[in-house]
Structure 1
Amino acid sequence: MIRLDNISKQAGHQILFIDASMGIQKGEKAGLVGPNGAGKTTLFRMIAGQERPDDGQVVIDAGMTIGYFSQDVGEMSGQSAVAAVMDGAGPLSALLAEMGTLEAAMVDPDQADDMDALIARYGDVQGQFEELDGYALEGRAREVLAGLSFSQERMDGDVGLLSGGWKMRVALARILLMRPDGMLLDEPSNHLDLESLIWLEAFLKNYDGALLMTSHDREFMNRIVGKVVEIDGGSLITYSGNYDFYEQQRALGEKQRQAQFERQQAMLAKEIKFIERFKARASHAAQVQSRVKKLDKIERVEPPRRRQTVQFEFRPAPRSGDDVVGFRGIHKRYGSQSIYAGFDLQVRRKERWCVLGVNGAGKSTLLKLAAGADAPDDGAVVVGSSVKMGYFAQHSMELLDGDETIFESLEASFPQAGQGPLRALAGCFGFSGDDVEKRCRVLSGGEKARLVMAKMLFDPPNLLVLDEPTNHLDMATKEMLVAALAEFEGTMLFVSHDRHFLAALSNRVLELTPDGIHQYAGGYTEYVARTGQEAPGLHPGG
């Protein structure tokens, strides 16, 4: 179905692939993994026909349609989200656009003289639209957008007014509506909330074409893929099984290669020692010569390439009082919409509350109120004694000074810390060597998030208020963050769509639903077991 045969590809001075091969059949769902910069996007672009390999070939079955979703969303404006999604469906979108133009013309008094011609043309266009099952297509487009958490109002509004994250969803909906024979999805789980993520998971499980995708969401990957393709030093290595199985197999392979390398090193050391010892003795000349020849012929075992894993350790935070933050009779509205009416909650020391709720339920609002970034219309937020707060929100990344380098940014925040500790901190968050000299303005979303996180955790707070902290983070940084936060001694209030993060770190759940606010003792895993759903508003199998 999709095959890469011995492809080689160089980008600038970097060699991405050398004689690399892989294949995906109809019905197979594969995850593509590899460190940042390994060439995942280049591989997608080659399959999509947007780039060519320098050598080797990409083979796609004749007549096969491929849908490619990338993080690079083009310009969208001047049409509704529904129309933009249907645009992906070829001739239907042109007919729909013409029907819209004709409808406007038919109610325009200046064009009354042309009414007969307009009506006749409208009849023709509408006939073609019906023949191609156009009305069903609009229904399907709305269904996909609803799955991705669009309200009716947002579906019909100008797509140009949407934020970047919502435009991404429109671009993703286009590919899903196409239902092509092959789908290439580059980070489809970014920018989605938990409900959309679970809907997308179900959609992709039922998709019967060939799927190749990347994702930094471990749980999402585990539930969808049955095979993992890893880019490793220019090669493509295929593992059967889900992401967890791939990790186990990879670790086992590394262990075996390390043992093989060490055995060979010991044998080589022994041979070299013999040669050194007897090379000056004529009586051993023949033996020495034969061993030198033997050494020349031995194929050297390479040590496994070690993936850098760095751990971040919290310095002990000052202890807070037992009552950390209290919400007393909170009322909050935005325009005509009431978000909270008489809300009460007491967060105590060492509690880790994850906040769940559909879009617009008030999750981010609650975190803003806790952090003092917003004020209630009525009621009070009471922060307890000795509470030192760290607040991470998506806008935190916009507050970085673009002219500063990463190191200067850290130094400005912690002038007393000294070079060594700050470089170690940067290293924990994935900035090693010359990376610390990058200016903030050129950083990717993931790099900015890591820098903000590093600043927040270095001088440790005892209350962490985190709004989607794992957006933009790669798998390795996420694992590091989960491991670090598991050791954190303080209190947490957070929103996340990453189920691994939710399950690993929460010990309380606050569920915001239209029929009220529910509190659950026990973390996310217990919440799922008790309610039979992974997110509010979703029912098992729904």
Structure 2
Amino acid sequence: MIRLDSISKQNGHQILFIDASMSIQKGEKVGLVGPNGAGKTTLFRMIVGEDRPDDGQVAIDSGMTIGYFSQDVGEMSGQSAVAAVMDGVGPVSALAEEMAKLEAAMVDPDQAGDMDAIIERYGEVQGRFEELDGYALDARAREVLAGLSFTEERMDGDVGLLSGGWKMRVALARILLMRPDGMLLDEPSNHLDLESLIWLESFLKNYDGALLMTSHDRAFMNRIVGKVVEIDGGSLTTYSGNFDFYEQQRALGEKQREAQFERQQAMLAKEIKFIERFKARASHAAQVQSRVKKLDKIERVEPPRRRQSIQFEFRTPPRSGEDVATFENVHKGYGGKPIYAGLDFKLRRKERWCVLGANGAGKSTLLKLVAGAIEPDRGTVSIGSSVRMGYFAQHSMDLLDGDETVFESLDGSFPQAGQGALRTLAGCFGFSGDDVEKPCRVLSGGEKARLVMAKMLYDPPNFLVLDEPTNHLDMATKEMLVAALSTFEGTMLFVSHDRHFLAALSNRVLELTPEGIHQFSGGYTEYVASTGQEAPGLHPGG
């Protein structure tokens, strides 16, 4: 299906691949993993022909169609989301657009004189639309968009007015509707809420083509892929199994290489000691010479490359009072649409509430009310005594000063901390070496999120309010954050679409549904076990 044979590739001074090979067969679902900058996107671009290897070849079965979803979605505007999705399938969307214009012309009194020509043209266009199974395609496009949490209104609205995250979903829907023979998906789980993520998981499980994807979402990757290809140090290594299996095998391989390396080092030390000891004695000259030759011929075992992962340890936050936040008879709505009507809810010290609910259910609204970013229309939200709050929202990243470097930004927040402590903090959040000298304006979404998180957690508050804190984070940073937050001694209220994060950190669940608000006195894992669903209103496989 897709084969990379002995490819080599260099970008500037950086060598990405040396004599690397891999293959994907029909029906295989493969996860592509490797540190940031290892060459995952370059590999995708070589498969679709947007880039070429310096050496070796990329072979794809003739006639095979490939759909490629990348984070760079390009310009979209002037058409509805449905039309933009159908665009990927060919001429059908142009016919649908012309039909819509002709339908508008039919009821326009100014065009009454041209009615015969309009009706005749409408018949031609509609006939061609039906030949191409356009009505079924329109329904399928709407089904895919609904799966990705689009409302009817949003499907028919101008795609140009959507935010970047929603445009990403349109670009993804376009590839899914194509149902090509092979799909390359670069971070499809970014920007999706939990419901969309679970729907996409089910869609991809039922897809019968070849799939190659990257994702920072561990649970998502685990449930879809049956094979993992790792890019590391220029080579491609294939593991058969899901992501958890790959991690176990990788750790095992590392342990074996470590033992092999240590055994060889001990043997070399022994030989060198003998040579040093007897090299001046004529009686041992022949033995010394034969050992020197033996050493020259030995193929040296490389020590395993250690992936740097620095753990962040919390300072103990000051203790808050027992009642951390209290909602009493809270009413809140937008433009006449009620979100909360008489909400009563209390957070107590050391509780870790995760908030679940479909798009528009009021998850972010709840967090904004607690953080004081918005006021209730009626009722009160009160914060308890000695509570120090840290609030992470998506807009937090826009508050960074673009002219400051990463280090200056940290230093400005903690002038007493000292250079060593701040460099260690930066390292924990993935800024090592010269990265601390990058100006904030050039940082990626993930880097900005890590910097904001570092600033919030260094001098820890005792109440963390986190709105999608893992949105832009890679798997290693997420693992570090989960490990750090699991020892956090304060209170938490958070929204996340990452099931690993939800399961590891919550001990309470607040579920927002159209029928009402439900509180569960157990974490996300207990919630799934007791409701039989992973998100409100969604049943397994549904």
The 3-state SS of whatever aligns with 1:422 is: helix
Q: How far is the alpha carbon of 1:102 from its aligned partner?
A: 2.6
- 1:28-47 alignment, distance < 5 Å: 28-47=28-47
Show the counterpart of 1:177.
177
Q: How far is the alpha carbon of 1:95 from its aligned partner?
A: 1.6
- 1:61-140 alignment, distance < 5 Å: 61-140=61-140
Aligned: 1:346 with 2:346: yes
Q: How far is the alpha carbon of 1:383 from its aligned partner?
A: 0.6
State the alpha-carbon separation in 1 of the partners of residues 294 and 342 from structure 2.
Answer: 83
The 3-state SS of whatever aligns with 1:89 is: coil
State the alpha-carbon separation in 2 of the partners of residues 338 and 105 from structure 1.
Answer: 38
State the alpha-carbon separation in 2 of the partners of residues 83 and 467 from structure 1.
Answer: 32
Aligned: 1:253 with 2:253: yes
Residues 122-141 of structure 1: CA distance to partner in whole angstroms, max 9, x if unpaired? Answer: 11111111011100000000
- 1:80-479 alignment, distance < 5 Å: 80-479=80-479
Show the counterpart of 2:500.
500
Residues 194-222 of structure 1: CA distance to partner in whole angstroms, max 9, x if unpaired? Answer: 00000000000000000000000000000
Aligned: 1:3 with 2:22: no
| TM-score after normalising by structure 2 | 0.99
Show the counterpart of 2:20.
20
Q: How far is the alpha carbon of 1:114 from its aligned partner?
A: 3.0
Show the counterpart of 1:484.
484
Q: How far is the alpha carbon of 1:382 from its aligned partner?
A: 1.0
State the alpha-carbon separation in 1 of the partners of residues 16 and 318 from structure 2.
Answer: 47
Residues 159-182 of structure 1: CA distance to partner in whole angstroms, max 9, x if unpaired? Answer: 110000000000000000000000
Name the amino acid aligned to 2:326: G
Residues 286-340 of structure 1: CA distance to partner in whole angstroms, max 9, x if unpaired? Answer: 1111011001100000000000011000001100011111111100010111011
Name the amino acid aligned to 1:400: L
State the alpha-carbon separation in 2 of the partners of residues 481 and 126 from structure 1.
Answer: 55
State the alpha-carbon separation in 2 of the partners of residues 532 and 440 from structure 1.
Answer: 44
Q: How far is the alpha carbon of 1:103 from its aligned partner?
A: 2.7
Q: How far is the alpha carbon of 1:109 from its aligned partner?
A: 4.0
Q: How far is the alpha carbon of 1:98 from its aligned partner?
A: 2.3
| TM-score after normalising by structure 1 | 0.99
State the alpha-carbon separation in 2 of the partners of residues 59 and 34 from structure 1.
Answer: 22
State the alpha-carbon separation in 2 of the partners of residues 94 and 378 from structure 1.
Answer: 49
Name the amino acid aligned to 1:454: A
Aligned residue pairs: how many? 542
State the alpha-carbon separation in 2 of the partners of residues 148 and 115 from structure 1.
Answer: 40
Greater Cα offset, 97-106 or 433-442 = 97-106
The 3-state SS of whatever aligns with 2:509 is: strand
The 3-state SS of whatever aligns with 1:488 is: coil
Structure 1 spans left out of the alignment, 5+ residues: none
Q: How far is the alpha carbon of 1:118 from its aligned partner?
A: 2.2
State the alpha-carbon separation in 2 of the partners of residues 277 and 540 from structure 1.
Answer: 71
Residues 507-539 of structure 1: CA distance to partner in whole angstroms, max 9, x if unpaired? Answer: 000000000000000100000000000000112
Name the amino acid aligned to 1:282: A
State the alpha-carbon separation in 2 of the partners of residues 178 and 334 from structure 1.
Answer: 37
Q: How far is the alpha carbon of 1:96 from its aligned partner?
A: 1.6
The 3-state SS of whatever aligns with 2:124 is: helix
State the alpha-carbon separation in 2 of the partners of residues 115 and 10 from structure 1.
Answer: 62
State the alpha-carbon separation in 1 of the partners of residues 311 and 435 from structure 2.
Answer: 18
Name the amino acid aligned to 1:501: F
Q: How far is the alpha carbon of 1:49 from its aligned partner?
A: 1.2
State the alpha-carbon separation in 2 of the partners of residues 126 and 13 from structure 1.
Answer: 56
State the alpha-carbon separation in 1 of the partners of residues 149 and 541 from structure 2.
Answer: 17
Q: Equivalent pairs: percent with the same residue?
A: 87
Name the amino acid aligned to 1:172: L
Name the amino acid aligned to 2:501: F
State the superposition RMSD in angstroms: 0.8
State the alpha-carbon separation in 1 of the partners of residues 258 and 460 from structure 2.
Answer: 38
State the alpha-carbon separation in 2 of the partners of residues 256 and 180 from structure 1.
Answer: 41
Q: How far is the alpha carbon of 1:12 from its aligned partner?
A: 1.1
Greater Cα offset, 168-177 or 92-101 = 92-101
The 3-state SS of whatever aligns with 1:64 is: coil
Q: How far is the alpha carbon of 1:540 from its aligned partner?
A: 2.8
Greater Cα offset, 390-399 or 109-118 = 109-118
Name the amino acid aligned to 1:223: R
Q: How far is the alpha carbon of 1:110 from its aligned partner?
A: 4.2
